[in-house]
Amino acid sequence: MQIGALDVTSALERPELLAPATATALGSWPQGAVVGVAQIDPGLADTAEFCRAYAVPLEASANCVVLAGKREGTVRMAACLVLATTRADVNGVARRWLDVRKISFAPMEEAVASTGMEYGGITPIGLPEEWPILVDPRVIEQPAVVIGSGIRASKLVLPGGAVADYPGVTVVEGLANPITQGA
């Protein structure tokens, strides 16, 4: 699966380009064989710079954000996967879906410690099993989507439809809204 200027190879054959949790998850996931990985400059891992440098359309790039919600003193962790052309509705749809009173992006240190992944490379593949993974339908519709690999030095490439088959994923209508110019 080729996209932009990325040199994509089988992720199962390049575990050194993956966070350990991501490599383990891919190895046990039936769709793991269709996932590719591409080595990138870790200084270009942030979405806008990555897409420019590797000629990947923003609509084919998805971002994974880690959320922490609280209700009655209990923290509930979750992840959202949305296209780079959209913004997750954290305080509306995600908060209601998680049934929490307060929700925010997890602090960087907490996200890194909880996932075992690098900040800026967090991916839904390999997250703690008890975390729900909310995915915007636009991600699923992509023939190929680029997501994090758990480290900043590479990206995963897979069919959008395969994301829906990952354990713990729920496709949530209205999870993301298009980013408007100037926003």
Q: Say if 3 falls within a structural domain.
A: no
Residue 181 in any domain: the answer is no
Contact 163, 123 (CB under 8 A): no
Q: Residue 100 corresponds to which tokens in the numbers above? A: 């929490």
Q: pLDDT value at position 117?
A: 97
Q: Do the domain assignments include residue 62?
A: yes
Phi-psi map region of 116: left, alpha, beta (phi>0 left; psi -120 to 50 alpha)? left
Give the model's confidence band at 1: pLDDT under 50 very low, under 70 low, under 90 confident, else very high.
Answer: confident
Residue 51: CA count within 13 A, CB half-sphere: 15
pLDDT of 126 strictly over 80? yes
Q: Does residue 112 fall inside a structural domain? A: yes
Residue 182 has pLDDT above 90, yes or no: no
User: Is 1 a member of any domain?
Assistant: no
Share of the chain above pLDDT 90, in %: 95
Q: Does 50 have pLDDT greater than 60?
A: yes
* Structural domain includes residue 183: no
The CATH number that applies at residue 141 is: 3.90.960.10
Interval 13-30 mean pLDDT: 98
pLDDT at 128: 97
Share of the chain above pLDDT 70, in %: 98
Mean pLDDT of 96-102: 95
The amino acid occupying position 79 is A
pLDDT at residue 119 in the model: 93
- Domain ranges, residue 43: 9-175
Residue 35 maps to a domain: yes
The answer to whether residue 91 sits within a structural domain is yes
Q: How many domains does the structure of the chain reveal?
A: 1
